[in-house]
Structure 1
């Protein structure tokens, strides 16, 4: 189960990151061109929203079943080791914050009335969320 979840978390990351980047750029173009925010735009944003939430859910499950997730915090030495701290604390906490920001951007865009404001809410919050996610990816284990 652990190996399957690990592969799902790594593979889904590519989809979620690509979707966030595409939607962010798409919303930025929509805002700059003063285009009308349509149902299609909302659905594009929703795809990235859903993928990022699925990624979070798989990551949280993985965190508690993994031998290098939550168990590192109970061992006592995680804060002194840079990689252990990233895995046990920084990666999950920062990514939860990123998903909250993405959620705020999507929910706020649904409530706004002006098209430009809707696009701006999406590209700004998705962009901040994307930067946070990229800052805490454990590149040493993801690419290696």
Structure 2
């Protein structure tokens, strides 16, 4: 089970990044194109939100069943950069990213008909994407 979850979590990250890039690109195009945020644009925002939430749920499960997660939180784990990454830095940054992305979508969906929906998605999804990219464990990224 652990190996399957680990592979799913690793490869779903590609879908998360793709969804966030599509949503962010569409938001920037709409904002700079002086368009009004529509229901269609709100649905495009879901391309970033849904895979991010799915990834977060799988990550939470993995955190508690993985030997790299909660099990590694023993005395002195802060001195080991790899243990610190998996126990604290990666989970904390991903939770913050999910919160930012969720807030951005929640604000945007109430702004259909204005240009502010694009602005909300662009700002919050952009910040979430930066946090995700900053704390992906690149040492274990699929393909390395």
Q: Which TM bucket (shorter chain)?
A: over 0.9
Contact 1:31–1:115 (CA under 8 A) maintained in structure 2? no
Distance, in Å, in 2 between the alignment partners of 1:128 and 1:134 is 10
Aligned match of 2:45 = 45
Distance, in Å, in 2 between the alignment partners of 1:92 and 1:126 is 18
Q: How much does 1:51 deviate?
A: 0.6
How does the TM-score come out when normalised to structure 1?
Answer: 0.95
Contact 2:64–2:70 (CA under 8 A) maintained in structure 1? yes
Q: Please list, as runs of the form range in 1=range in 2, the aligned pairs for 1:62-81 lying within 5 A after superposition.
A: 62-73=62-73, 75-81=74-80
Q: How much does 1:115 deviate?
A: 2.5
- Post-superposition Cα deviations, 1:14-69, rounded to whole Å, max 9, x if no partner, equal 00011101110110010000112221111110121011000000001001000110
Q: What is the Cα-based RMSD across aligned positions, in Å?
A: 1.1
Contact 1:109–1:118 (CA under 8 A) maintained in structure 2? yes
Distance, in Å, in 2 between the alignment partners of 1:101 and 1:36 is 22
Distance, in Å, in 1 between the alignment partners of 2:33 and 2:112 is 17
Q: Which sections of structure 2, spanning at least 5 residues, go unmatched?
A: none
Q: Which structure: greater helix fraction?
A: 1
Q: How much does 1:114 deviate?
A: 5.0
Aligned match of 1:18 = 18
Aligned match of 2:139 = 140
Runs of 4+ aligned residues of structure 1 deviating over 2 Å after TM superposition are: 112-115
Aligned residues: 143
SS of aligned partner of 1:90: helix
How does the TM-score come out when normalised to structure 2?
Answer: 0.95
Distance, in Å, in 2 between the alignment partners of 1:23 and 1:112 is 16
Distance, in Å, in 1 between the alignment partners of 2:88 and 2:112 is 38
Aligned match of 1:121 = 120
Aligned match of 2:106 = 107
Name which of structure 1's ranges 109-118 and 130-139 shifts more when overlaid on structure 2: 109-118
Q: Which sections of structure 1, spanning at least 5 residues, go unmatched?
A: none
Distance, in Å, in 2 between the alignment partners of 1:21 and 1:132 is 14
Distance 1:45 1:113, change over 3 A: closer
